[in-house]
Structure 1
Amino acid sequence: MLIGAVAAMAASAPAAEAAEAKVLLYGDSLLAGYGLSVENGFMAQLQSALDARGIDAELVNASVSGDTTSDGLSRLEWSLGVEPDAVILGLGANDMLQGLSPSQARENLNAILSRLDERNLPVLLLGMRANRGLGPDYVESFEAIYPDLAARYDALLYPFFLEGVALQTSLNQPDGLHPNERGVARIVESVLPLVEDLIERANR
């Protein structure tokens, strides 16, 4: 009788809620929150936006200011020790700023995405644009990296992380490279729908 009662209760109980998704932020200073207080950085503002929408997700920041794609590749395995359910990947800006080879940046990002794919981790890839002063060949080669790799690995793509913020004095810190609190808020508002899609993929 007791076993039957327990079985009946289990059958009538509502389905268990999906576990909280852990999302790893993996990038450079733009994701690390360079020049901003902790509460005004990208992770904190994105977490607040998700919380406000009732989306059950925990953001974990493994971003390092100054990192190139090579740096990101070299520390990837250690960073994945937090066992994320999904990854927001934003690397390449420092490769471009240093004028490093687009082909090398592509190779490094490809290796990162390949390892994430092996772990069946859904990815949101944050694209970056190149300084036009580097010349048309460099710009074309660099900017093609993100859509090409997103298509190859079926990753979600936000084409330009600084869309609507780059070159806007009121939305950037004095260095003109890093968004201020208002700039981050603009980015979060724009990227949020894709982050929601990413979390849905993680919960499948």
Structure 2
Amino acid sequence: MMAMTPLHAEPLRLVAFGDSLTAGLGLPAKDAFPAKLQAALKAKGHDVVIENAGVSGDTTTAGLARLDWSIPDGTQGVILELGANDALRGLDPAIAEKSLDAILARLKERKIPVLLAGMVAPPNLGGGYAERFNAIYPRLAAKYDVPLYPFFLDGVAGQGKLNQPDGIHPTAAGVDVIVERITPAVERWLATLKSAP
């Protein structure tokens, strides 16, 4: 019988679960957020593999519908980035909250830790909508006791040179900024995963 490899020798298996911002719409695969985050973490000595489970155009409802087959058994953590398409389409924030709540509940049930990446509603939808939409993420992070990175596009949203011509999707340089800004939050989260039994 072969000796079993000790568990700690295996890389930490993470899934980045989101929409086109995770998928890397308009970019080569090596420039998508999961690939660049994995490289940044490896450079800091973290042995991680991050699977890209981003689907362009996904709303929170579409994400919920594919959750079970997108997050394979053995996943040790999920970076959840959904909601931008709900806001872009002006969908009722209550729908986004209900879907994200169900995603977080399902992952908790499966004992898979989550880092929640927040989204901010575009200003053209008005203050009332933004207030309702933007409150979803802190509320759910508190409810499920998961860490929250407040705004996934922090430092990139509205910055012309960091976005593709559509003004929505980051360029490779934009992804670099996202990765640079989110990495400290991801590292703090990884520390909690590594200390978990």
- Which TM-score band applies after superposition, normalised by the shorter structure? over 0.9
1:200 corresponds in structure 2 to 191
What runs of 5+ residues in structure 2 fail to find an aligned partner?
1-5
Secondary structure at the counterpart of residue 54 of structure 2: coil
Alignment of 1:107-186 (within 5 A): 107-186=98-177
Query: Equivalent pairs: percent with the same residue?
Result: 53
- Report the CA distance between 1:82 and its aligned residue: 4.5
In structure 2, C-alpha distance between the alignment counterparts of 1:16 and 1:97, rounded to whole Å: 42
**Would you identify which runs of 4 or more consecutive aligned residues in structure 1 move more than 4 Å?**
none
Structure 1 contact 57–199 (Cα < 8 Å) conserved: no
Secondary structure, in 3 states, of the residue corresponding to 1:87?
Answer: strand
TM-score (norm 1): 0.89
- Secondary structure of 1:75's aligned partner: helix
Which amino acid letter does the alignment assign opposite residue 76 of structure 2? D
CA contact (8 A) 1:86 1:198 kept: no
Which residue, out of 48, 56, 61, partners 2:39?
48
What's 2:96 paired with? 105
> Cα gap change, 1:85/1:167 in structure 2, threshold over 3 Å: closer, same or farther?
same
2:62 is the alignment partner of 1:62 = no
Please give the root-mean-square deviation of Cα atoms over the aligned residues, in Å.
1.4
SS in 2 for 1:62: strand
Distance 1:80 1:31 in 2: 14
Taking the aligned partners of 2:168 and 2:85, their CA distance within structure 1 comes to 11
Q: Which has the larger radius of gyration?
A: 1
Query: Aligned to 2:91, what secondary structure does the other structure show?
Result: coil
Work out the CA distance in 1 between the residues paired with 2:125 and 2:96: 15
Tell me, in whole angstroms, the C-alpha distance in 2 between the residues paired with 1:17 and 1:108.
34
CA deviation profile, 1:147-191 (whole Å, cap 9, x unmatched): 110111111111111111111111111110011011100110010
CA distance in 1, matches of 2:159, 2:124: 18
Q: Is the 8 A contact 1:122 1:198 kept in 2?
A: no
Partner of 2:13, secondary structure, is strand
**Unpaired segments ≥5 residues, structure 1:** 1-14
- Taking the aligned partners of 1:168 and 1:31, their CA distance within structure 2 comes to 18
Please state how far the C-alpha of 1:195 moved relative to its aligned partner: 1.3
Structure 2 CA distance for aligned equivalents of residues 65 and 16 of structure 1: 34
Secondary structure of 2:72 counterpart: helix
Classify 1:189/1:136 alpha carbon distance in 2 versus 1 (closer, same or farther; 3 Å): same
Using the alignment, how far apart are the partners of 1:170 and 1:74 within structure 2?
A: 34
Give the letter for the 1:39 counterpart.
Answer: K
- Cα displacement string for residues 97-150 of structure 1 (whole angstroms, at most 9, x for unaligned residues): 111110010000000000111122111111111112212211101000001101
Preserved contact between residue 21 and residue 58 of structure 1 (Cα < 8 Å):
yes
TM-score, length of structure 2 as denominator length: 0.92
Q: How does 1:25-44 map to 2 (within 5 A)?
A: 25-44=16-35
Deviation string for 1:6-41 (max 9, x for gaps)? xxxxxxxxx974532111110000000011111111
1:120/1:16 CA distance change after superposition, 3 Å = closer
Cα offset, 1:43, TM superposition = 1.4
Number of aligned pairs?
Answer: 190
